[in-house]
Each structure stands twice: as structure tokens, then as C-alpha cells.
Structure 1
Amino acid sequence: MGMFCFQCEQTAHGTGCTEIGACGKSVGTSDAQDRITYELMKLAVAVQDKRVDDDLPVLFMEALFTTVTNVSFDEAGCLALADDIAARRLAITGGADTPLEAIPSPADIFGQPGVEASCRTLLVLGLRGMAAYAHHASMLGRRDEAVDAWLISGMADASKHHEVADWLQLIQDFGMANFRCMEVLDEANTGTYGHPAPTNVTMEVAAGPFIVITGHDLHDMGMLLDQCEGTGVSVYTHGEMLPGHGYPELAKYTCLKGHFGTAWQNQQKEFAGVPGVFLYTTNCLMPPRDSYADNIYTTSVVAYPGLKHVDADADGHKDFSAAIAQAKALGGWSEPRMFTGMNGGSTLTTGFGHNTVLGAAETVINAVKAGDLKHIYLVGGCDGALHGRNYYTRFVEKTAPDTLVLTLACGKFRFNDMNLGTLGGLPRILDMGQCNDAYSAVKVASALADAFGVGVNDLPLTLILSWYEQKAVCVLLSLLSLGVKNIYLGPTLPAFVAPEVFDVLVSQFGLRPITNPENDLAVIGA
């Protein structure tokens, strides 16, 4: 089989990677992940209308999560997982095959974007993103029957032919299922670690040994902090772990010191020659440079050949003692080092989840009524390396002093170290958390709409989103399913969305590509 992968924003030539993934994924690994997807479809069809074991949705979570961009580069591990899924199916069918209606082989899952292929890809990539969120919630003991069922039924439906109207209905239904998944993850995070509180986070790295934790998984972060406490090893967040500083039950650890680096695409430069350990808990792993590869530990579904991996035991506990010992041996820097964000700032603020923002709702409402607050922008989503992402920096720079900027996900590293001042006692940039905290933004928007007696689309609120991979896809589909209109999307349009499908999104939801900050701000009229 030849490689064809167009699931992320950096896909080669804007059409698809065919020789090696722009992410560094090999042809063999790409084919193995297509086979995982194919075997999941066959298993989903095999169990339709059957009672399934409680662990089957977990298998779908882990397997779909494995296929998300920048998660697993381990061809052998992916092939073994595909074999396990096939064996599970054959045990259910008594050895009989399960042909798929519309997918003759793994190579046929993603085709050039005709309407049906485009709709199928939207659904499958959305399911991959939702699986990641469901996995995080599951690690904290939270599951939802409807979400579990959708992971399986969605893969079965994706393997069939449908009329365009039926595809669009499936995608809309999926969007609502993913919104419930994000709600469950919010319940898991806040139920375990408390509601985030506004927190100032330094980018200074203290002298002495340290571990940098990256990814998204708060459960892994909690275990690492618990094991580092009292050892003399400090912990710094990286990327989408920054919001961890806002959760009271994580912030209580004295070993949690600050934040290291900016967004994921800069890691090869920022991690080079650093005398510390790096722990990858979810996606955003880039092929490591030799100067720091030996300092990396992966866990969960993250995998790269030759890197050390930390598995969970039967009770879900992970032993990070080897990482802690290596951090001590490396020793860290002998003197404190101050780092800065992408705009020269050395302090970041996080912790403005829905509980905090709704606690200040009266201030926001009064500011709008008094004319002191003219507009709210949600500028969020994934970051990436392609040209054009400075749009988001420039957009935020050019927002007026009488506006607020809500943000979430790693796209915020383009501007979250800026000091834009305050409005009504609130910082003008409010970091709501990780990509899944789009749930928080919707909850805030809904509460404000209720307070003003209008619909969400009638608020002085505009969403300016950046996308990179599958979690951004599922978040966008949830927002569209909730009826949110006039979203600006960039820096490019997904290669897997056929023009006919995009036309539907434009006509029904007003979805529009970004142009330039000056023009878009003028169109928005704020």
C-alpha cells in the first residue's frame, strides 16, 4: 500500500502526504494506522445490535486515539494493535469475516475528497478527536454510555454508503455527542482537581533537577506531581499542560514551579540541550533530536521507537521513579534561567474556566450594558508551524481596548504572554484552558445569552479559530451542531473537506476562512 494522509493542517502541498508524513510518520506507520481504523470499522459492524463488553469502548478510545496526529510513530505497536482488534472481532463472529459495505480495504478509507469521502473523513477524524477526550475522562473514572456507544456506532456508520443529507445528519449528531464528551471530561477534571482559579505562572526555571510534562492528561500530571513532591525534582508544564496550574488539587504541590517553552511545534528547538527530563502524556510528540531523545519518557498511547515508555499497572498506577532518578542525574541548570513567550513576556495567566468567568458574569454584563465592553473574541485552537499563523498574533494585537479575548488550546501561545491591560478588573486575555475547554466557552456564551435574553449568535461575540488536527475537528463540529454561526477558521481550510461540503457549511453556518486581521476586524465591526 502507498501512503495517503491528509488528516492534519500541515499535510504536504495542501493535498496529502504520500511519501512521508509532514509530522515525521513513516509510510509503514501510516498504513498500520489505516489498518487500525479499518479493523475498528469491521469490529463495530460485527457488534451492531449485540450487547458489548464494558471494555470494548475503551478499546475504541485507545485505538482511535493512537491514530491521532503526533501520537504514535511505532509501526510495530500499531500493527500489533490492529491484530488485537481483528482477533477480538473473530472471537465474536466465530472466525467469519465482516465485509464492509463501502470500504474494500484500509487504503480506501480516505479518498480524494468527493462529497461522500469528505463526509466520511469528517466523521472518522471527529471520532478520533472525541476518543482522545473520552480517554482522558476514563482515566479519571468518568464514562458516559452515549459517548461509549457513539465511538462504536459512529465507526460502523462511517463504513457505509449514505445520502448526503444522511451524512450531514450523522455529522451533526456526532457534534452533539462530542459536546457531551467534553462536558464529561470537564466534570472529570473539575470533580477530581477542583474548579480552575486565575493563576499567574512564571516562565523562570529554577536551579536544580526538573521534569517537563507535556500533552493534555491531568491524571498523569497528578501522579507525576505526587511522586516528585519532596524529592527535590521540580515540575514544569509545557504546551497544553499550562492550564494544570489553575486546578487547586494540582497547584497545591510545591514541586510544581512554572511553565517551560511555547507551543508544541517549537519543541525541537526549545528542548535541545536541556538538562532535564521530558514526559509526553498525549499527542504533540515530534520526532526528537539526538540532543534530548534520551531524556524523553512517553506514556499512555504515545509511542516512538527507541524512547522509554511508562506503562500503567493493573490498578492504573504509573511509576515515574526512573524519570525522577534521571532528572536528578541530569541535575538541571546551576542557576535560575528566565525564558519568555513568543512576544517576550515572562509571565502567563491561566485558570479562567467557566466557573471563574461566570462568577464575574455580572461585571461582564454591566460592562456591555454601559458600553465599556464592546465585543468578546474567542481566539483559540491548535498552533502549528505553517506560514500564516502570525495572523492570530496580529489579530489579538489589533483588538480594541474595550474588548475581551477569550482563548484556549495551544494556539494561545501566539499571544498569551502579551500584556493588553485590563477591562473591568479582568485581564483582557482570559485563558480558559485546553482545547476541550471549548465546553467552558459555550457554557459562558449560553449564560450570557440567557442574561441578555438573546441567542448566542446575537451576542457581541465572534469565534476566530485555528485548527491543526483531529481534536480541532471534533470541537468545530460540536460548535456547528450547537448552532454557532459566523466562525472564522484558518490558517488554511482542511484538505479533506470537498468544496461542495464546505459550501454547505458556509450556507448553513456562515463558516468563513480568515483573510487578514484588519479586514476581518472591519467585517466583524468591532
Structure 2
Amino acid sequence: MSDMFCFQCQQTAGNKCCVSVGVCGKQPDTAALQDELVYELIRLAEAAAAAGQRTQIVDRLLMDGLFITLTNVNFDNQAIAEFTERVRAEREKFGGKPCAVVELWKGDTDTVSLRSTLLFGMKGMAAYAHHAMNLGYTDDEVSAWFYKGLCAVNRPHSVEEWLALIVEFGQVNFRCMELLDEANTGTFGTPQPAKVPTDIKKGPFIVVSGHDLGDLAQLLEQTAGKGINIYTHSEMLPAHGYPGLKKHPHLAGNFGTAWQSQQTEFENIPAPVLFTTNCLMPQRPSYQDRVYTTSVVGYAGLRHIEADACGRKDFSPIIEQALALGGYEHDHSMSGINGGHMLMTGFAHGAVLAHAEEIISLIKSGKVRHIFLVGGCDGAHPGRNYYTEFVKSTPMDTLVLTLACGKYRFNDLDLGEIGGLPRILDMGQCNDAYSAIKVALALADAFGCTVNDLPLTLVLSWYEQKAVCILLTLLALGVKNIYLGPTLPAFLSETVVKTLVETYDLHPTTNPQQDLDAILGRG
């Protein structure tokens, strides 16, 4: 009997399944608690559906509960168990006996694969809905789908019915990403291109990791005038493009690279680090006493910052520790993977479409032969240098759009410009795949063709469940010819992979030059 069963992320053992301990550091008892939380979320959704009731409390529990079980979010057994009790207590308010729940990881291979695909996609969408809700933005269609999806996971379906549900989910997730875009831009303004230094100034500072712009905004407000610089980390980098955040002069730069390098980059860091979402890793002793969590993030032994009933958080403990630690005595030089000391961000759909006429003209004149979207999750898998080499090999007459933390493989490269535009355009966080889709649809409209007819190819890297929901959205929108790596998801059965390959021309990545030649028609 296996101690655990987890195959939801790209780094899963042997690209099959973690069965004794998670490669991420998740222990079997934690995995069991997370599975039990999912079962309770299903029971709550079933009870609410049976009663014909939806409430804001249940909406929030379903979103946050799914988010808690996403990779590298919460390792704290006590916190998971307490949240599960909240879910159970809310379900009991509906009365009656709890429904029977299907065993998630048992059944025929294709059923488990399709069930997992839908469940993991919902975990990703839950993260986006969570961030939007934190900023006061909700959508009935999105919220209602968590009930529908969790109930659907608990029922038998034919392969065709599963695929139809997954396509429907992908379309709803597109609305969810649109909602989060509305929340972020409505609260902090439309992102604008910004240069972000990677070197750290002497003196007290705080590093903020994750994705939640609302948490960053509160911290910036509470540290104003205190002589503390704030640095983004990993997926928080795009915050520098938002006028409502960039207005704070002590938002000073970006610390380090992608999430999987944190144990090395945080070694002996003379400053506290705040994790607002994934991706948290087990900490080394040299910095464990200065890591803080908030929201759904948790790790036993770390200090957690709770929100009050109005969503306000008191970051005084972090601020006091930053002042006590004092930061670096001298300016501290840090660089990207390729040695660069300056990053660009802020090229979301508002900024890119402001240059739509120039881009269209560049394409029509032949000055831009092709556009690549090279983005997604980063990770420690050795095959991920594929994306660095791919971008380095792209011809000078091509543009590279990028997003999410996968960009740290190459975003410090200077690839020059075309028509005054940098060849690498950082569109933002993983949820800003919405920006890429919006740009693609606008270009297709301008050229009077479909997205699949554009000189555009998506070359994606995946790691966790937010990447899964984005892929499902792209497929639901009919986007074809996507290159996906560094490996295909272990939860996709041979039958499901064959279906995706045949229906959507989905390509597993091979090697950079071979794939590039195939895309550009030179092979």
C-alpha cells in the first residue's frame, strides 16, 4: 500500500507519481490531509447543490480550499485540518447525511486521468478567483462553476462527457482570467513598460514573493517613509508595471530569479521574506526565522499574517524584523541566470495593443517574421534549459512574448529591438496568459484570420495546476499547434494524450533547434 499518491505537478517522481514523499517536500500525512480536504469540498458542493443554495461563504471556502491543495502552497498540517473542519461545519448547516465521494485516484486509467485533469484545472482557477475576490471582484459564472465542477468530479461520465466538461471549464477559466485582469487593472491601473533593477541597495529591505498584488500594496503602504525598500521576487516581478504600485518610490527592484532557486538565493538573507501564494519550498536554517506566510500559504513553524474581517493585514512583525536585521551593509550585486542586471516588464495587453499598428506594420512588411509566446512555469527539471536555448536561437526578425516565472530562464538577455520594441516582451504573471490571448485575438481580427493562421506559436512550460488551467483554456478556445514541455503531465493517460495530439496538434517539446526549424518551416 503506497503511503501517498500525488502526480499533480511536473516534478512528480519518475514523471509517474510521488508515493513515499513528495519531491516538493510534502509528507504523506500532509498529502492525506489535502485529499481529505478535497473530499470535504466535494461534499460541501454536493450539499449546496442539493439545497439549491449558493452563498458567499461557501464560494470562498471552495476557492480557498482548492487553492490550499495546489502545489507548494500549504505544508502546515494543523492549518489544513482546521480549514477542513470549517468546510465540514459549513456543510453540516445544510443538514442531511454527507454524500458518498468517489475515490479520486482509483478507477480505470482514462477516467482517473480525465477526472484529475478537471480537478487540477479547478485548483488553478481557484487561485485566480481567490486573487480577484481579495480585490473585491467576483463573477457568478466563475463562482458557480466550482460547485458544478466539484459535483462533476464525483460522478461517472463517458470520455466524451469528460472532454466536454473540460472544454466548458476552459472557457469559464478564460472568464476568470479576464476577471482577475479587471481586478488588477481596475485597482492598480493599466501596466506600463518598466525597467526593473536586480541589484539590492544597502539598508533594510523586505522581499515579497507570490502573486497577490493586494498584499504587496498593503505592505507598500505600511512601509512608506520607514526607510525600508521593497523587492519583488519571482511571479511578483510584474507588479513594477502597475502605476498604483510603482508610485511607491521604495518599490526598489527585484530580488533573485524563479521560485526553485529560493533556497540558494535566500541563504543568510539579512531581511524578511513574505510569501503571499505559492511557490514556497522547505526552508534552510539560515533564513527560516525570517520567512512569513499569509492567506492560504502555510508551513509549520513559520509566522503567519492573518487578515481581519475587512481583509486588512498588520505587517508590523515583518517591518520590525526588517529594521532589526538591517539589510546589506553595502549595495549587493545580483544578476539573472544569464548575468543581466536589468529586467523589463509591463507589456500586458494594454501596452502591447498600444503598439498594435506598429506590430501589424512590422509583420506586413516582413520585418517581423514570427511571434513566439515562450512562457509558463519554471522548475528544477534539467530539461528546462530548453527554453533558454530556444529563445537564444530565435532569429532577429522574431518577437518573443513571455509570462510567468519561466521567463527567468531568459528575461535578462538583451536580444535587441525591432522597430523600437524590445524583442522580449514580458506580459506578466501566469494569469496574464489572458493578455497574450487578447493580443492574439486582436491581431487575428486585424488580419482577418483565425489565431491559428497567425505567424504565432506558443511554446509553454508547465509545473503546477495554474499552468494546467491555462492550457485547458487555450485548448477550449481552439488554439492549436502548442509546444508543451519539459515533459507531458503524468496524469494524462496515453488515450488522453493521443486525443489532445490529434485534436489540437499538441506537440511535446523535443530539442530547441529541431522545434524551431519545424515551426519556421526550415526543417
Place the TM-score, normalised by the shorter chain, in its bin. over 0.9
Which deviates more from structure 2 when the two are superposed, residues 37-46 or residues 452-461?
37-46
- Aligned: 1:514 with 2:509: yes
Among candidates 481, 491, 494, match of residue 496 of structure 1 = 491
- Aligned: 1:184 with 2:179: yes
Letter in 2 for 1:66: I
Tell me the residue number matched to 1:408: 403
Counterpart of 2:148 in 1: which secondary structure? helix
Which deviates more from structure 2 when the two are superposed, residues 110-119 or residues 188-197?
110-119
CA contact (8 A) 2:403 2:426 kept: yes
- The Cα of 1:54 is off from its aligned counterpart by 2.1
Tell me the residue number matched to 1:52: 54
- The Cα of 1:113 is off from its aligned counterpart by 7.1
Give runs of ≥4 in structure 1 deviating > 3 Å: none
Alignment of 1:18-417 (within 5 A): 18-49=19-50, 50-94=52-96, 96-100=97-101, 103=102, 108-111=103-106, 114-417=109-412
Equivalent-residue separation in structure 2 for 1:400 and 1:273 (angstroms): 41
Counterpart of 1:120 in 2: which secondary structure? helix
Which deviates more from structure 2 when the two are superposed, residues 485-494 or residues 72-81?
72-81
Equivalent-residue separation in structure 2 for 1:517 and 1:97 (angstroms): 51
CA contact (8 A) 2:195 2:345 kept: yes
Measured against aligned partners, the alpha-carbon deviations of 1:476-521 in whole angstroms (never above 9, x if no partner) come to 0000000000000000010000010011101110011000011001
- Aligned: 1:8 with 2:9: yes
The runs of 5 or more residues in structure 1 that have no matched partner are none
Letter in 1 for 2:53: R
Equivalent-residue separation in structure 2 for 1:240 and 1:373 (angstroms): 28
- The Cα of 1:308 is off from its aligned counterpart by 0.5
Per the normalisation by structure 1, the TM-score is 0.98
Letter in 1 for 2:64: E
Letter in 2 for 1:522: D
Letter in 1 for 2:54: V
Equivalent-residue separation in structure 2 for 1:464 and 1:53 (angstroms): 40
Equivalent-residue separation in structure 2 for 1:289 and 1:112 (angstroms): 40
Equivalent-residue separation in structure 2 for 1:112 and 1:46 (angstroms): 24
Equivalent-residue separation in structure 2 for 1:381 and 1:128 (angstroms): 16
Which deviates more from structure 2 when the two are superposed, residues 403-412 or residues 80-89?
80-89
Measured against aligned partners, the alpha-carbon deviations of 1:233-289 in whole angstroms (never above 9, x if no partner) come to 110000000000000000000110000000000000000011011000001000010
- The Cα of 1:55 is off from its aligned counterpart by 1.8
CA contact (8 A) 1:112 1:496 kept: no
- The Cα of 1:83 is off from its aligned counterpart by 2.2
Letter in 2 for 1:68: L
Letter in 2 for 1:512: H
Measured against aligned partners, the alpha-carbon deviations of 1:317-364 in whole angstroms (never above 9, x if no partner) come to 000011001000000011111210000000000000100100000000
CA contact (8 A) 2:58 2:90 kept: no
Letter in 2 for 1:44: A
Per the normalisation by structure 2, the TM-score is 0.98
Equivalent-residue separation in structure 1 for 2:304 and 2:84 (angstroms): 20
Give me the CA root mean square deviation. Answer: 1.0
Equivalent-residue separation in structure 2 for 1:212 and 1:90 (angstroms): 41
CA contact (8 A) 1:113 1:497 kept: no
Counterpart of 1:169 in 2: which secondary structure? helix
Tell me the residue number matched to 2:458: 463
Tell me the residue number matched to 2:18: 17
Letter in 2 for 1:484: V
CA contact (8 A) 2:229 2:252 kept: yes
**Identity of paired residues, percent?**
55
Tell me the residue number matched to 2:444: 449
Measured against aligned partners, the alpha-carbon deviations of 1:49-83 in whole angstroms (never above 9, x if no partner) come to 51222221111111000000000001121122222
The runs of 5 or more residues in structure 2 that have no matched partner are none
Letter in 1 for 2:32: D
Letter in 1 for 2:11: Q
Counterpart of 2:202 in 1: which secondary structure? coil
Letter in 1 for 2:76: D
Equivalent-residue separation in structure 2 for 1:240 and 1:112 (angstroms): 37
Equivalent-residue separation in structure 1 for 2:253 and 2:500 (angstroms): 41
Pair 73,8 (structure 1): closer, same or farther in 2 beyond 3 Å = same
- The Cα of 1:93 is off from its aligned counterpart by 2.1
Counterpart of 2:160 in 1: which secondary structure? helix
Letter in 1 for 2:194: T
Equivalent-residue separation in structure 2 for 1:59 and 1:431 (angstroms): 33
Letter in 1 for 2:464: E
Equivalent-residue separation in structure 1 for 2:367 and 2:107 (angstroms): 49
Equivalent-residue separation in structure 2 for 1:54 and 1:216 (angstroms): 23
Equivalent-residue separation in structure 1 for 2:210 and 2:444 (angstroms): 33
- The Cα of 1:196 is off from its aligned counterpart by 0.4
- The Cα of 1:98 is off from its aligned counterpart by 1.2
Which deviates more from structure 2 when the two are superposed, residues 42-51 or residues 388-397?
42-51
CA contact (8 A) 2:258 2:408 kept: yes
